[in-house]
Amino acid sequence: MSSLHNRVAQTLLKQRLQEETEPRTTFSFYRYFDIAEPQVFRDVLYQGLHELKVFGRIYVAREGINGQVSVPRSQFEACRAYLDATPGLEGLRLNVAVDDDGKSFWVLKIKLREKVVADGITDPDFTLNNRGKYLNAKEFNQLAAEPGTIVVDMRNHYEYEVGHFEGAIEVPSDTFRDQLPMAVDMLKDHKDSPIIMYCTGGIRCEKASAWMLHKGFTNVFHLEGGIIEYANKAKEWGIPSKFKGKNFVFDNRMGERITDDVIAHCHQCGQPCDTHVNCANDGCHLLFIQCPECAEKYKGCCSEECRDQPALLSKETGKPHVFNKSRERLRPRLKMP
């Protein structure tokens, strides 16, 4: 029986990934369902996926599961069959990556969480049993084109910045827990209008649709499988993509190219660019957009301060000190939703 946690150094794991010769397939999945014993569910899942050489990040909570993983291409169908045979995950939709280099993850981590998506909801009467209606890619394009339809992006600012659906409303926050009440307030005068909510893979907009219905909205929809499923189906069905730009993803790739449109700009010089990087200074690692010219000028750092000043060690912890950066000028560091 294998260990239920990784015990190998990260540097060695990354090296092993680079040395792999078989291509990997990256995919994401989620499902809201009751898990009576999250720890037991987690341990059994870890054992099975570890044997299939799955890498990635999975969260398990009493409300369900949320995962982003990669698997050797030859094991993809075996992985699908394993998940399908797991109680509660039957028929699970797997959102296969649109733009995949196979190097998204290098280790398997399955963690327990209070919720698979932190929402800040404390209302005891809220339930996920009443959710918005699913829309596939064709249905999304049709309804989004109708007068009076409101399309709402339920992702963080730095995700919206590099790519979004035409005419979509941004809920200007970098946390889902803040976006839920903001969305209700922003749309309070449109409680009977058709409202389409979307996100990366569907997990946030599905919960958001339930919250909007709970708050009295009557005509709420959400995009089935999120942007990832939409992009795949649009290509498969030969329909025009109403999503423009890049889809931000929470793994080593930091983005999937959906269309050739570059709608964002370098945070340092303002030139068109949609490449997210983390500041090269070990005391910062801020997530921001940087063009190749500025990457050379600032040596991969977000500012002259970080470029010219080595990472400072905190006197309290002995670990790199985190510089305070302007949230108006640069975006917050990368976090899992």
- Where in the sequence numbering do the catalytic residues fall? 199
Distance, in Å, from the CA atom of 22 to the CA atom of 26, rounded to the nearest integer, reads 13
Write out the two tokens for 332: 């917050």
CA angle at 257 for the pair 139 and 106, rounded to the nearest 5°: 115
Could you give the CA distance from residue 215 to residue 198 in angstroms, rounded to a whole number? Answer: 18
Contact 149, 143 (CB under 8 A): yes
Q: How far is 324 from 93, CA to CA, in rounded Å? A: 40
Q: How many Cβ atoms are within 10 Å of 236's Cβ, its own excluded?
A: 9
